[in-house]
Amino acid sequence: MAKPVVNYIFPFDAQEQKKITFTYTGDLPYQNRLIIYNADTLATVYDVTSPSRVLYCTLPANTCRNGVKYAAAIQCFDMYGAPSTVSDKRYFWCLEQPSFYFTNVESGQTITTSSFYAELFYAQTQLEGLSQFQFLIYDANKVLLSESQVFYSSDYLTFNYTGLEDDTVYFIRAKGLTQYGTELDTGYIEIDVNTAYDNAEFNNINAVCDENNGLVTYYTNFSIINSDEDKDSFQYENSYINLQGKELNYTTGLSVEGDFILCVKIKEYYETGTILTASDESYGFTLSSFVYDDAYMRFKLTVPNGLTPYILYSDPCIPNATTVFTIYIKRVNNIYQLYVFVTEDDNENNMHFGINEPAIPDLYDIWLNNENEPTETVLKENVHKFVMDEEPIVLAENRFDIWIGGWQK
């Protein structure tokens, strides 16, 4: 009998049953045997032979554990019980279903401007990376109107939907792929655009005309929340606040209740100290950091909770000069979560291949003097780097992409 081939297995939640499909050349098998191994120890986790004339085996729910890598092999038997050769192992991960949703818009929400910034949130319990994602917008019949470019960095989780027409219903949506190929989808989120919304509670700016004195007075119901410190004592550098030797305290005009997500982005940071404190009359929290004797640093979230505070720590890391921390503090039903994503703010470069030196190269560009004529330029935004075990699915789409394989601890 021929040797079956197990098809690629995308990551799946171990709490759900999973169909393991395969290809097989020859007469349809009468029985299929599915063997699941622990990828690290090769210990057998599951070995069951079932009567079946279909080209898949069903792995029951809760057979495996999330966060563990496994291997699957399949053997077929014909109507006389003669076995095929056992297939080669196909490796896969069991991972909890990621969180992937818009944080600042709910379906049916009214948008009072012609543009709207949508904020996307991604998190996965086993810290599986986000490989790529894209923003889309549809008309009231869910016909696609436009879509964004494909993003490969979590620095672009905010997207501006522009050109929205008044008295129009749209659906916005985001789709993506995780590091190991799990498909992500926010679903269709309805937004109703009404730029003439007449409820003063939601108006951005109001105007009052004093015709007797030829005066127009403008006012808004926005409230600016400043920290308790003198704002002039802070230095602002390229949208960042310099907090060397300082901390932020918010205790006035701030409400720390209900469900919320707070995002803090930090760079060039490696010290022990308090970063920010936010509180009102009833609730509050403090974000701080600590550098240990072994040089590792952790972030710490402290939430007062009666006699015993609620404390969460991030994973330890040793940052360098280009490390950027994106910290999410999330509260849902009075339960806090702390997520810290670590990226590198490195100076990427364009690459030029050819015998002619590029006319106006950027500061960090690379020129390789080879046989090409004319010189071919590869822009840095068109080169994507992947550091992962499995070959990324998107690699074949761009011949300049780089995959660094090998086992990653």
Integer Cα distance of 102 and 129 in angstroms: 18
Rank 60-64, 76-80, 310-314 by mean pLDDT and report only the highest. 60-64
In one letter, which amino acid is 242?
N
Query: Distance between CA atoms of 126 and 162, rounded to whole angstroms?
Result: 35
**Predicted TM-score (pTM) above 0.85:** no
Provide the Cα torsion 303, 326, 162, 199; round to 10°. Answer: 10
Asked if the model's pLDDT at residue 124 lies above 70, the reply is: yes
Predicted confidence (pLDDT) at residue 363 exceeds the cutoff of 70:
no
Residue (of 88, 80, 92, 154) closest to 124 by Cα position: 154
Distance CA(205)–CA(197), nearest Å, equals 12
Contacts of 60-63 spanning 24+ positions with Cβ under 8 A? 60/17, 61/14, 61/15, 61/16, 61/17, 62/14, 62/15, 63/14, 63/36
**pLDDT tens across 274-309, in order?**
988 888 777 889 999 999 998 899 999 999 877 778
Least confident interval from 185-199, 226-240, 266-280, 330-344: 226-240
Q: Are 3 and 87 in contact (CB under 8 A)?
A: yes
Q: Where do the domains of the chain lie, and which CATH numbers do they carry? A: 5-94 (2.60.40.10), 99-193 (2.60.40.10), 231-344 (no CATH), 351-404 (no CATH)
Question: What pLDDT, on a 0 to 100 scale, did the predictor assign at position 318?
Answer: 86
Q: Evaluate if residue 61 carries a pLDDT over 90.
A: yes
pLDDT at residue 53 tops 80: yes
